[in-house]
Amino acid sequence: MRINYLFSDISKEQGFNEIQREYLKKDIKNNDTIVFIATTFDDYEKNDLYYNNLIKHFKNIDITFNKAYLIDNRVDKDLAKDYILKSNIIFLMGGKTNRFIKRVPSFLNIKIKRRNNTWSKCRLYESILSWGI
pLDDT tens, position by position, 24-72: 999 998 889 999 988 888 899 999 999 999 999 999 999 999 999 999 9
Higher pLDDT, 59 or 105: 59
* Total residues belonging to the chain: 133
pLDDT at position 117 is 47
Surface-to-core class of residue 42, CB atoms within 10 Å of its CB (0-12 exposed, 13-18 middle, 19+ buried): exposed
DSSP lists the bridge partners of residue 5 as none
Residue 75 has pLDDT above 90, yes or no: yes
Nearest to 123, CA basis, from 107, 105, 108: 105
% helix, strand, coil for the chain, step of 5: 45, 15, 40
E strand map for the chain: 32-37, 65-71, 89-92
pLDDT at position 133 is 42
The dihedral formed by the CA atoms of 61, 65, 71 and 77, expressed in degrees to the nearest 10 = -150
pLDDT level of residue 95 (50, 70, 90 thresholds): low
CB atoms within 10 A of CB 128: 22
